[in-house]
Chains A and B, each alone.
Chain A
Amino acid sequence: MTENVIEVRNLTKVYEEGDVLAVDDISFNIKKGEIFALLGPNGAGKTTTISMLSTLLRPTEGEAMVNSHKIREEPDMIRKSIGVVFQEPSLDGDMTGWENLELHAVLYGMPKKERREKIREVLELVSLNDKADMYVKNYSGGMKRRLEIARGLIHTPRVLFLDEPTLGLDPQTRRKIWEKIIELNSGELNMTILITTHYMEEADELADRICIMDHGKIIALDTSENLKRQLSGDIIEIVFEEIEDFSKIPHIISELKKIQGVKDISMGTKHENNQGSENQFKMPPGMKNINPEIMRKKMNEILLDPEKFLKATQKFPMTAQMFEKAPYDVKERVANQFKDSELIEDLPPKIKNTLKKILSGEYKKEKQMREPGLTISCENGGKLISDIIQKINDLNSIKIKTIHMHNPTLEDVFLFYTGSQIREESSGKMEGIKNHIKMRQLRQK
Chain B
Amino acid sequence: MSRKVTNYVKIEGNLRWESIWYLAKRELLAYVRNKTRIITSIAQSILFLFVFGLGGFNTQTPSINGVEVSSLAFTASGIAAMAVLFSGVFGGLGIIRDKLFGFMNELLVAPVSRRTLMIGKTLGVALQTLVQFMLITILSASLGFYGYDLSLIWRVAATIPAGLLFSLGVVGIGMTVSTRLTDFQGFGLIQTFLIMPMFWLSGALILFPEQFRLIMMLNPISYGVDIFRFILLGVSVFPFWLDLLVLTGFGALLISIGAYSFTRMEIN
Kindly state whether residue A91 has any CB partner on chain B within 8 Å.
yes
For the complex, what is the distance from the CA of A287 to the CA of B104, rounded to whole Å?
A: 44
**If A54-B109, A90-B105, A107-B110 touch, does A76 touch B266 (CB 8 Å cutoff)?**
no
In the assembled complex, the CB of B9 is this many whole angstroms from the nearest CB of chain A, namely: 5
Which of these binds chain A: B22-30, B39-47, B157-165, B225-233?
Answer: B22-30
Name the one of B5, B8, B105 contacting A88, with C-beta atoms under 8 angstroms. B105
Q: Which 8 A-B pairs have the closest CB atoms?
A: A79-B111, A90-B102, A107-B110, A443-B268, A90-B106, A76-B111, A90-B105, A106-B22
Kindly state whether residue B11 has any CB partner on chain A within 8 Å.
yes
Name the one of B30, B106, B111 contacting A94, with C-beta atoms under 8 angstroms. B30
Contact size class for A? Answer: 35 or more
Kindly state whether residue B35 has any CB partner on chain A within 8 Å.
no
Kindly state whether residue A129 has any CB partner on chain B within 8 Å.
no
Chain B residues whose CB sits within 8 angstroms of the CB of A75 once the complex forms? 9-11, 111
In residues 83-129 of chain B, which contact A (Cβ within 8 Å)?
A: 98-99, 101-112
In the assembled complex, the CB of B8 is this many whole angstroms from the nearest CB of chain A, namely: 7
In the assembled complex, the CB of A50 is this many whole angstroms from the nearest CB of chain B, namely: 10
Which of these binds chain A: B12-20, B54-62, B206-214?
Answer: B12-20
For the complex, what is the distance from the CA of A144 to the CA of B266, rounded to whole Å?
A: 25
Chain A residues whose CB sits within 8 angstroms of the CB of B29 once the complex forms? 94-95, 99
In the assembled complex, the CB of A61 is this many whole angstroms from the nearest CB of chain B, namely: 7
For the complex, what is the distance from the CA of A16 to the CA of B84, rounded to whole Å?
A: 40
| CB <8 Å contact, A91 and B111 | no
| CB <8 Å contact, A104 and B4 | no
Q: Which residue of B lies closest to A445 (CB)?
A: B266
If over half of B's interface residues share one DSSP class (helix, strand or loop), that class is named, otherwise mixed; here it is loop
Chain A residues whose CB sits within 8 angstroms of the CB of B3 once the complex forms? 16
| CB <8 Å contact, A108 and B268 | no
For the complex, what is the distance from the CA of A84 to the CA of B110, rounded to whole Å?
A: 10
Task: Tell me the A residues contacting B by CB distance below 8 Å.
Answer: 14-16, 47, 51, 54-58, 60-61, 71-72, 75-77, 79-80, 84, 86, 88-95, 99, 102-104, 106-109, 151, 440-441, 443-445
| CB <8 Å contact, A76 and B12 | yes
Q: Which residue of A lies closest to B13 (CB)?
A: A76
| CB <8 Å contact, B7 and A57 | yes
Give the residue among B9, B19, B104, B107 with the most A Cβ atoms within 10 A: B9
In the assembled complex, the CB of A255 is this many whole angstroms from the nearest CB of chain B, namely: 58
Give the residue among B8, B105, B107 with the most A Cβ atoms within 10 A: B105
Task: Tell me the B residues contacting A by CB distance below 8 Å.
Answer: 1-13, 16, 18-19, 22-23, 26, 29-30, 33-34, 98-99, 101-112, 182, 266-268
| CB <8 Å contact, A102 and B111 | no
**If A61-B2, A95-B26, A95-B29 touch, does A109 touch B103 (CB 8 Å cutoff)?**
no
| CB <8 Å contact, B101 and A107 | no
Chain B residues whose CB sits within 8 angstroms of the CB of A109 once the complex forms? 16, 19, 111
Name the one of A51, A106, A440 contacting B19, with C-beta atoms under 8 angstroms. A106
**If A86-B102, A93-B101 touch, does A444 touch B267 (CB 8 Å cutoff)?**
yes
In the assembled complex, the CB of B104 is this many whole angstroms from the nearest CB of chain A, namely: 8
Chain A residues whose CB sits within 8 angstroms of the CB of B108 once the complex forms? 56
| CB <8 Å contact, B22 and A58 | no
Extra inter-chain contacts (15) besides given A16-B5, A76-B11, A443-B267, CB under 8 Å: A58-B4, A58-B6, A60-B4, A75-B111, A76-B13, A77-B111, A79-B111, A89-B101, A94-B34, A95-B29, A104-B110, A106-B19, A107-B112, A441-B182, A444-B266
Name the one of B1, B5, B16, B26 contacting A92, with C-beta atoms under 8 angstroms. B26
Q: Which residue of A lies closest to B16 (CB)?
A: A109
Name the one of A58, A71, A444 contacting B182, with C-beta atoms under 8 angstroms. A444
A–B pairs, 30, beta carbons within 8 Å = A15-B7, A51-B268, A55-B9, A56-B8, A56-B9, A56-B268, A57-B8, A60-B1, A61-B2, A71-B9, A75-B111, A76-B111, A77-B111, A79-B109, A80-B111, A84-B109, A86-B105, A86-B268, A89-B102, A90-B104, A91-B106, A92-B101, A93-B101, A94-B30, A103-B23, A107-B107, A109-B19, A443-B267, A444-B99, A445-B267
In the assembled complex, the CB of A136 is this many whole angstroms from the nearest CB of chain B, namely: 10
| CB <8 Å contact, B30 and A57 | no
Chain B residues whose CB sits within 8 angstroms of the CB of A56 once the complex forms? 8-9, 105, 108-109, 267-268
Chain B residues whose CB sits within 8 angstroms of the CB of A51 once the complex forms? 268
